[in-house]
Structure 1
Amino acid sequence: MNRLWRRHSIILGVAAALLCVLVAYFGSRLMTAYYLDQAAIRGENTLGLAVTALRGQLARYEKLPELIADHQDVKNLVSNPGDRAAVDAMNSYLKSVNGLLESSDIYVMLPDGLTIAASNYDQTPTFVGENFSYRPYFFDAIAGGEGRFFALGTTSLKRGYYFGAPIRIDGSIGGVVVFKVDIDSIESSWRGDEYEIIVTDPEGIIFMTGRRDWLFSAILPLTEERLARTAATRRYANANLTELPVSEGGTPRGHNLLTISNEEGMREYLVVGESMPQADWTVSVLLDTASARAQALTVVAAMVLLLGLGATGLAAWLQRRARLAERLQVQREAQEQLERRVEERTADLAAVNNRLEEEVAERRATERALRKTQSDLVQAGKLAALGQMSAALSHEFNQPLAAVRTYADNAAILLERGRAGEAGDAVARISKLTDRMAAISRHLRNFARKPNQKLRPVSLDDVVRDTLEIVAWRLNAADAEIVVDLGAQPPVVKAGSVRLQQVLVNILSNAADAIEGLPDRRIDLAATTAGGRVTITIRDRGPGVPAAIAERIFDPFFSTKGVGKGLGLGLSISYNIVKDFGGSLTVERHPEGGTLASIVLDAAKLPISEAAE
């Protein structure tokens, strides 16, 4: 059985590996072609926008040279180029028109190519006095056609597209009007993360691109013929023409690929292009194929992974079936063997029964011992719980009892001095604190579980006032100065008044312990309301919470005070109380020194009449 399963496993593994290779090979080709198709669609959309923008920019100025050439003052000027007043007037006119149309430059040329008036007549350098008869836009226009040419200006060294129109006078051509259009604004928008837009001339030289390092570079070999044709028109003036290190390729789906090498390495682009015959341009969008190939690789990897998981699941299923068949075979053999040995074991049955009775007796004794151990553990748990409750009661009653003792001593002194009214007030305070201690004893029963008492709106002003009465003796002993700021309208929170008072007593007592004996013994208690939540902050100027114990500060029985000065339950109990209120309690080091305790509770509205908690 194991040999058969091993043979099946080998066959299944080889088949799965072969299938994964086939899926990886054909899937990679299909997915790459698919994502390249999607990239080509995006490229065609981008190409359409770029071509539309270029055509719109050129169409804006296409008819303007003819309009200017038909102006009578322009005809008079080329008929009498020596008229200085006419030249000055035309310079001003061309400058104003150039500013109005937002073109780059406008100038007028004589039949010999000499520029006699220009919109930049008052700039340096100026076109006035320059001869541009070598430009195609000039000799096309002087021949009676429409001049169109893109070039780098030999005077301004700025790129632009030139429109030339003949100046017709009585059936003859007396000169040429030229518009130079700046298209840098369109080029500046051709900067994308996954694509590049380039515009090439008939020689394959890039003269518009969002990549400045590609400008005046050729994607076709710069042969002597191409360089000669470019030099004859001085299209790029004295610019240094170079060849981009490119290699062309394609895909079975007809996609054109272009690989460009640079200092960062080699990048492959999908090329989508469209020619503009009127401008004699070719606009191309180069999309980085890395994203498409990565997507295709991800899909193929997912397919191979799913196939591998399927093969693993099939192998597990087959293995389970083989083990089940093997188990059934073993059971059949065991049953047959058992039937053969029934007669042999009949004689040993009595001895086995005796041994079984002994084991039963031992187990009963063990069960009795186990029950006694369980009883002892339950009793130990009860004692531990009782000890924890006693420690909590001792900690929670410690501060109110100290306040009662202080008021009792004060009452005795006041009675000796005959100030019975003030002594009675002290006795009343003792009675009130006794009531509060009774309320505390009721609430301490619920610290280990969620209390059944419902929360209600509690005035923070009343809680703070009662709290200060309890901790007044401790603050006086520490010579502490407490500053309370509850705002113009003290907030109302959703809580229990006595339990919230217990939290404030614990935190204020810790603050008094922290600042005792220090130069700055101020304690700030403030409350703010924002977004339906009330934040109560208590800050002291003590040494702050050390970073080493910040994570343990809320643990029960953890204390940084000396022996006999605290049980380490105050913050733990306070944390559980605030959590029962649906709020949060945090204690951290203040950036300016000391400790900052923050209590966040839900805001509430105080009813007209409220009962004591």
Structure 2
Amino acid sequence: MAWWSAISKRRGLLLGAGLMLALGLAIATLGGAYATNVYLNEAANRAQTTLRLAVAALRGHMSRYESLPPLIAENEGVKALVRDPDNAALREDINRYLKSVNTLLESSDIYVMLPDGMTIAASNFDISPTFVGENFSYRPYFYEAMAGERARFFALGTTSLKRGYYFSSPIRIGDAIAGVLVFKVDLDAIENSWAGGDHEIIVSDPEGIIFMTGRRDWLFTGLLPLTPERRARTGETRRYANAVLRDLPVLREARDSGQELMTIGQTGEAREYLVLADDMPEAGWTVKVLLETGSARAQAGTTVLAALLLLGLAGMAIVSLVQRRARLAERMQLQQEARETLERRVAERTAALASVNHQLEREVAERTATEIELRKTQSDLVQAGKLAALGQMSAALSHEFNQPLSAVKTYADNALVLLDRGRAADAGENVSRISALADRMASISRHLRNFARKPNEKLGPVALEGVIEATLEIVAGRIGSAGAQIEQSVEPGLFVRAGSVRLQQVLVNIIGNAADAVEDGPDRRIELSARRAGDTVEIAVRDHGPGIDKAVIGRIFDPFFTTKGVGKGLGLGLSISYNIIKDFDGALAARNHPDGGAEFIVTLASASSSLVEAAE
């Protein structure tokens, strides 16, 4: 039967080898695809972050200048010049005015055009080439402004041969449009910051032509085929002046694992890129981040190779184990003593493993208990913060109630004396004053009750003046104890989308911090302002204290972070306030004011007063 046993062993080895080969093929194919998908997704997440930063930088840079053309178009000197373009003295004054504004704002160029497109004044009037005397009536920003619209346009300057983003605004005299004022903004600084790194950032126009990129050899190339129609539309506006347009050598576009891939052949080699895109509809741009996939695919290949090596080692280990067991089986009868020794060693190792398992279980139990204790400690800290806040509010409440109660006692005693003397009218006046003081204490109690109520309110239009009035009544005691003064500058009729109780909590916390900041200072003013800013409302609280240390200004909204002394706060107020404003889809920011002191700015969406009436 020995020959039959040998045949069985041989068959078993062949079967095992076949299974290992099949498993290896499965790892190489399915595992390779899965690993590639994982690393491409990781690369896409990195590229998405880069894309968001690039779009934010572009939008921030352009928004800095967007509102300036209408302001300068209202300048009386500019209006006088378009009324009398042949006035040499006036033209000289406006040229120098535009040059000074251009230098101050660090823009590229500012110039004034007549209704026929002729430029009569420019910030570059004294350099060559100058825009003065040039006609730009073919630009969309000109004829859109002449139609009464505020326009924007990106192009390569036909005179300066420099790329720039143009903002334009009509110059109105009465109901007529007498000219156009144009701002040209240079975006080279942002583009230069894109150079280097393992990614490429490109910005293309509606025709697919790349006009911003960290790769100079990609500039003015087309991601889409440059058909005669596309070239004709681009030529109508002379967007790229005399620049030579050419197709970007895109060899292949595909999708892999749900990601967009693009292969570009250039300088004798082809490179594959992972492509992520975001539209900027306000500018008519498409911003794309191209990340080379070579690293991701190499990582996937390394992972698959490591898996195959592990599989090979496992196979070798299994073969070795099978052979060992076979030898042990053949020699079992002759080596009974050796087998007993082996069994004893296995038992010892099992006991050791059981001991290790028990030790691990104890460690897991200890860590679980530690985690429970940590959570309890955190809960106690939060509760301590609440109790501290209640203590401060109780002190303020005691201060606010003590004076009215003392006055009530005095007026009541005086009323009794006046009644004894028959002076009922004077006694009635004292009773009226007692009633007014009772109303004040009821008002303070009502606001405090609203402040303490569980904030389960829904978001809706809130009258800001009422919230600020209620807030100031709550913090009056704290302001008085700090010797501070509140200076208000609140635009009337403001409504915001928020919850009134939680918004009061935020303002109470910020104003209380401002009172702490100025309590020991020479200037104890606290400035509270609110104004409309487009579709939002900005609420600013500025103190005249020492300001915020630059080393910690980025951490002040972190939970449990505080700059106050021991026992004066847990660092939860600003963190809670930050999350409340975030729940309102708003923003809470802190900075050091240029003139000294700290300033906290709450930005909320503006709401219409009609919505408040409808809600009521």
Bin for the TM-score computed over the shorter chain? 0.5 to 0.7
Q: Distance in 2 between matches of 1:194 and 1:28?
A: 23
Partner of 2:32: 28
Partner of 2:74: 70
Letter aligned with residue 156 of structure 1: S
Residue 6 of structure 1 and its aligned partner are, at CA, apart by 2.2
Which residues in structure 2 correspond to 1:86-485 (within 5 Å)?
86-251=90-255, 253-328=257-332
Letter aligned with residue 82 of structure 1: D
Q: Distance in 1 between matches of 2:256 and 2:288?
A: 21
Residue 323 of structure 1 and its aligned partner are, at CA, apart by 2.4
Aligned-pair identity in percent equals: 59
Contact 1:5 1:319 in 2 (8 A): no
**Which consecutive residues of structure 2, in runs of 5 or more, have no partner in the other structure?**
337-616
Contact 1:105 1:180 in 2 (8 A): yes
User: Per-residue displacement from partner, 1:398-455 (whole Å, max 9, x unpaired)?
Assistant: xxxxxxxxxxxxxxxxxxxxxxxxxxxxxxxxxxxxxxxxxxxxxxxxxxxxxxxxxx
Q: Distance in 1 between matches of 2:253 and 2:9?
A: 50
Letter aligned with residue 6 of structure 1: R
Contact 1:274 1:282 in 2 (8 A): yes
User: Per-residue displacement from partner, 1:512-533 (whole Å, max 9, x unpaired)?
Assistant: xxxxxxxxxxxxxxxxxxxxxx
1:49 equivalent in alignment to 2:53: yes
Residue 303 of structure 1 and its aligned partner are, at CA, apart by 1.3
Letter aligned with residue 92 of structure 2: D
Q: Distance in 2 between matches of 1:295 and 1:188?
A: 30
Contact 1:46 1:285 in 2 (8 A): yes
Which residues in structure 2 correspond to 1:474-553 (within 5 Å)?
none
Q: Distance in 2 between matches of 1:264 and 1:189?
A: 27
Residue 209 of structure 1 and its aligned partner are, at CA, apart by 0.3
Q: Distance in 2 between matches of 1:123 and 1:180?
A: 16
Which residues in structure 2 correspond to 1:575-586 (within 5 Å)?
none
Q: Distance in 2 between matches of 1:46 and 1:264?
A: 28
Residue 9 of structure 1 and its aligned partner are, at CA, apart by 1.4
Structure with higher Rg: it is 1
SS in 2 for 1:151: strand
Q: Distance in 2 between matches of 1:24 and 1:155?
A: 59
Q: Distance in 2 between matches of 1:172 and 1:209?
A: 41
Letter aligned with residue 233 of structure 1: T
Contact 1:248 1:256 in 2 (8 A): no
Contact 1:65 1:164 in 2 (8 A): yes
Letter aligned with residue 256 of structure 1: E
Q: Distance in 2 between matches of 1:193 and 1:264?
A: 21
Letter aligned with residue 139 of structure 2: R
Q: Distance in 1 between matches of 2:195 and 2:66?
A: 27
Q: Distance in 2 between matches of 1:318 and 1:234?
A: 79
Q: Distance in 2 between matches of 1:185 and 1:31?
A: 38
Q: Distance in 2 between matches of 1:331 and 1:202?
A: 85
User: Per-residue displacement from partner, 1:127-160 (whole Å, max 9, x unpaired)?
Assistant: 0000000001111111111111000000000000
SS in 2 for 1:240: coil
Q: Normalising by structure 2, report the TM-score.
A: 0.53
Q: Distance in 2 between matches of 1:189 and 1:179?
A: 23
Distance 1:60 1:156, change over 3 A: same
SS in 2 for 1:251: strand
Q: Distance in 1 between matches of 2:25 and 2:334?
A: 40
Q: Distance in 1 between matches of 2:37 and 2:252?
A: 17
Q: Distance in 2 between matches of 1:176 and 1:49?
A: 33
User: Per-residue displacement from partner, 1:146-202 (whole Å, max 9, x unpaired)?
Assistant: 111000000000000000100001101000000000010000110233100000000
What's the C-alpha RMSD, in Å, of the aligned pairs? 1.5
Q: Distance in 2 between matches of 1:331 and 1:51?
A: 77
Residue 328 of structure 1 and its aligned partner are, at CA, apart by 4.5
Q: Distance in 2 between matches of 1:320 and 1:6?
A: 15
1:17 equivalent in alignment to 2:21: yes
Letter aligned with residue 85 of structure 1: A
Q: Distance in 2 between matches of 1:330 and 1:304?
A: 39
Q: Distance in 2 between matches of 1:24 and 1:331?
A: 44
Letter aligned with residue 208 of structure 2: G
Letter aligned with residue 114 of structure 1: M
Q: Distance in 1 between matches of 2:284 and 2:307?
A: 47
Q: Distance in 2 between matches of 1:131 and 1:12?
A: 83
Letter aligned with residue 117 of structure 1: A
Q: Distance in 1 between matches of 2:258 and 2:17?
A: 37
Q: Distance in 1 between matches of 2:130 and 2:122?
A: 8
Q: Distance in 1 between matches of 2:31 and 2:67?
A: 54
Q: Distance in 2 between matches of 1:190 and 1:301?
A: 35
Partner of 1:526: none
Q: Distance in 2 between matches of 1:182 and 1:22?
A: 55
Distance 1:324 1:114, change over 3 A: same
Q: Distance in 1 between matches of 2:276 and 2:115?
A: 42
SS in 2 for 1:301: helix
Residue 207 of structure 1 and its aligned partner are, at CA, apart by 0.3
SS in 2 for 1:122: coil
Partner of 1:500: none
**Which consecutive residues of structure 1, in runs of 5 or more, have no partner in the other structure?**
333-613
How many residues matched?
Answer: 332
User: Per-residue displacement from partner, 1:196-220 (whole Å, max 9, x unpaired)?
Assistant: 0000000000000000100001111
Residue 327 of structure 1 and its aligned partner are, at CA, apart by 3.6
Q: Distance in 2 between matches of 1:248 and 1:105?
A: 41
Contact 1:5 1:322 in 2 (8 A): no
SS in 1 for 2:77: helix
Residue 326 of structure 1 and its aligned partner are, at CA, apart by 3.3
Contact 1:31 1:296 in 2 (8 A): yes
Letter aligned with residue 278 of structure 1: E
User: Per-residue displacement from partner, 1:199-249 (whole Å, max 9, x unpaired)?
Assistant: 000000000000010000111100111000000000000001010111443
User: Per-residue displacement from partner, 1:83-116 (whole Å, max 9, x unpaired)?
Assistant: 0111111111100110000000000000010000
